[in-house]
Amino acid sequence: MKLFYAPGACSLGIHIILEEIGVPYEAQAVNLREGEQFKPAFLAVNPKSKVPALLLDHGEILTEWVAIAGYLAATNPQARLVPEDPLEWARATEIMVYVNSYMHGQGFSRIFRPDRFAPNPEDKDAVRAEGRRMFAEGFALMDERLGDKDFLLSHYTIADVALFYVSYWAEGRQTLTLPPRVAAHYARMKSRPAVISAMNAEGLA
């Protein structure tokens, strides 16, 4: 398998899942700052111009964080990265879709790329503020969901990895102060060997 990633992007979560599973894989960086995602070589990998993309051993390419994470977890059951109970499985998906589509796609994107939401430059600050509100709203819900548990569900799953990548954007990039239980979850995640390896590989230590 080959992971197409950008250091510190949401693809960090897939990098972590690959490390958790312990299967052999290659990782190829895509330089988003220089617009490599819009160049023909990468468009052939993912015409949506986004990382992560995962080239599977039989040649198919999988895109979308939630789909890739679910595929890796389902094909590596020994890693126990999803709950066995179907309702808990659906809860994991519920969390990942919320993190990926709302917190990331709506909230953080407004903070990081306000120009994509505000054609008029004078609206950028308002767009950023709305993004911060949405991002914080998501963390508050995750904080409640964690309660007094170490992980979001009955054990560590790919939903925790989804929460980790947005927590990294909040804490690591100093966008927002994490609420206490999410901050403890972030610290817990950072001590996992798979997280340490993926972060080191991306030069984020």
Ligand X SMILES: N[C@@H](CCC(=O)N[C@@H](CS)C(=O)NCC(=O)O)C(=O)O
Q: Which of residues 193 and 203 has its CB atom nearest to ligand X in the complex? A: 203
State the DSSP code for 36: G
Stretches 4-12, 54-62, 149-157, 186-194: which one binds ligand X (CB under 6 A)?
4-12
Measured CA to CA in angstroms, residue 172 lies from 24, 62, 110, 178 at distances of 28, 28, 18, 11
42 binds ligand X (CB under 6 A): no
State the minimum distance, in angstroms, from the CB of residue 136 to ligand X: 19
b/e burial code for range 2-27 (CB count within 10 A of at least 16 → b): ebbbbbbbbbbbbbbbbbbbeeebeb
| Contact between 32 and ligand X per CB under 6 A | yes
Any contact of residue 145 with ligand X (CB under 6 A)? no
Q: Among the candidate windows 48-56, 85-93, 140-148, 179-187, which touches ligand X by CB under 6 A?
A: 48-56
Asked if 161 interacts with ligand X (CB under 6 A), we say no
Which helix (H) or strand (E) segment holds residue 29: the answer is strand 26-29
CB 182 within 8 A of CB 146: yes
Contact 64, 101 (CB under 8 A): no
CA quadruple 13, 19, 23, 24: dihedral sign = positive
Q: Coil, strand or helix: which one is 169?
A: helix
Of 4 and 186, the one with the shorter C-beta distance to ligand X is 4
Using CB under 6 A as the binding rule, whether residue 93 contacts ligand X is answered as no
Stretch that binds ligand X, among 49-57, 73-81, 91-99, 181-189 (CB under 6 A): 49-57
Q: How far is the CB of 18 from ligand X (least distance, A)?
A: 15
Of the ranges 43-51, 122-130, 136-144, 156-164, which one interacts with ligand X (CB under 6 A)?
43-51
